[in-house]
Amino acid sequence: MKNILLATDLATVTNRAFERAVKLASTSGAKLHILHLCPLYSFSKKKKQKISLKQDAEDMIKNSLDACKGVKKLNTTITVIEGGETFAEIINHAEKIKAGLIVMGMHGKVKLRDMFVGTTIERVIRKGVKPVLMVRDKPLGDYKSVLVGTDFSEGSKRVFHIALELAPSSLFHLVHTYGFPNIDIGDYLIHNSQQLMKDLADNRLEKYIKENKKILKRHKIGPENFNYRTVEGDTYASLLREAAKVKSDLIAIGTHSHVSLMPYKLGGTARDILSSPPCDVLISKGL
């Protein structure tokens, strides 16, 4: 990964994202691009004077960089844009610098518009193509336990590879969830159908592991720091249970690129995880 984009609003809660982005860039050797968008306030309607906060924002970012340990070794750029649609500017800048990852802090939905349109992070994921890391927790070191949810889609394959790149020294837990239709077909048939569903899921996962042997080997991921399993049940609930079980500090999931019935919102598991994450979340679309 050559370029990492940190999109920050300079709020206190997003300082965690700032720290994580600096750490990732430092350990990976990537160039860190810091982007902030600020409004341009009108001072006087008659004189049409404007108050620019651009210099203040740049100074705050520089001070934050100076306060980070090991930052002198980083190659960084700072861009402050006045005005514009936040999510669109983030996507455009990520394309411009050829970012391999966008890092953002977690935000709550505090506006009525957010409830219908989605947060900035959701819109960056939905409208863009770059993987996004949403930081919830203050980084205390490298990621130690990564839970990767897979449905074998292109998005989940891509996010698995990115997670391996971001946290090569972590313990990896790969989970595939599968469901069973809740219909009354008799106890005997239910038992045999459930076993058939489990066997199919297990076989698909085994095949997937074989297909990814080369990349696991490339990142020096062996049996001692990698395990995988299938889990029956609702994907969102299952991932939360597994995350608690393995004490994950990062959940990595893919999202589909197709247009949903509500194209202004993320769908399914990605939306649910982002709405109430138990830890940091990495999300990627398939290419």
Q: Is residue 150 domain-shared with residue 215, that is, in the same domain?
A: yes
Edge-first strand listing for the sheet containing 132-135:
76-82, 31-38, 3-7, 101-105, 132-135, 280-285, 250-255, 145-149, 171-178, 226-232
pTM above 0.75, yes or no: yes
Q: How many domains does the chain have?
A: 2
Q: Quick one: 124 and 156 in the same domain?
A: no
pLDDT at 269: 78
Please tell me whether residues 96 and 230 are part of one structural domain: no
pLDDT at 3: 97
> Which portions of the chain are predicted below pLDDT 70?
12-14, 40-52, 69-72, 107-118, 180-192, 256-268
First to last CA, the chain: 16
Q: Name residues whose C-beta falls within 8 Å of residue 175's C-beta, 6 or more positions apart in sequence.
A: 147, 148, 149, 150, 228, 229, 230, 231, 238, 239, 242
Of 74, 105, 139, which residue sits at a domain end?
139
SS3 of 115, please? Answer: helix
**What contacts 179, CB < 8 A, 6 or more positions away?**
197, 232, 233, 234
- From 101, 120, 139, give the residue that closes a domain: 139
Domain identity same for 9 and 134: yes
Question: Cβ distance 91 to 127 under 8 Å?
Answer: yes
Considering the domain architecture, whether residues 71 and 6 belong to the same structural domain is answered as yes
Same domain flag for 187 and 146: yes
Domain residue limits at 135? 1-139
pLDDT attached to residue 53:
76
Percent of the chain with pLDDT over 70: 80
> What is residue 266's predicted lDDT score, i.e. its pLDDT?
43
Last residue of a domain, one of 139, 155, 175: 139
Q: 155 with 286, same domain? A: yes
CATH number of the domain enclosing 283: 3.40.50.620
129 in the same domain as 16: yes
Asked whether residue 167 falls in the same domain as residue 274, the answer is yes
Question: Are residues 120 and 156 located together in one domain of the fold?
Answer: no
**Residue that the structure tokens 């651009």 belong to:** 54
Whether 12 and 130 map to the same domain: the answer is yes
pLDDT of residue 110: 45
Same domain, yes or no: 169 and 287: yes
The pLDDT assigned to 116 comes to 39
Taking all residues of the chain, what is their mean pLDDT, rounded to a whole number?
A: 83
Task: Decide if 101 contacts 4 (C-beta within 8 A).
Answer: yes
Q: So what's the pLDDT on residue 118?
A: 58
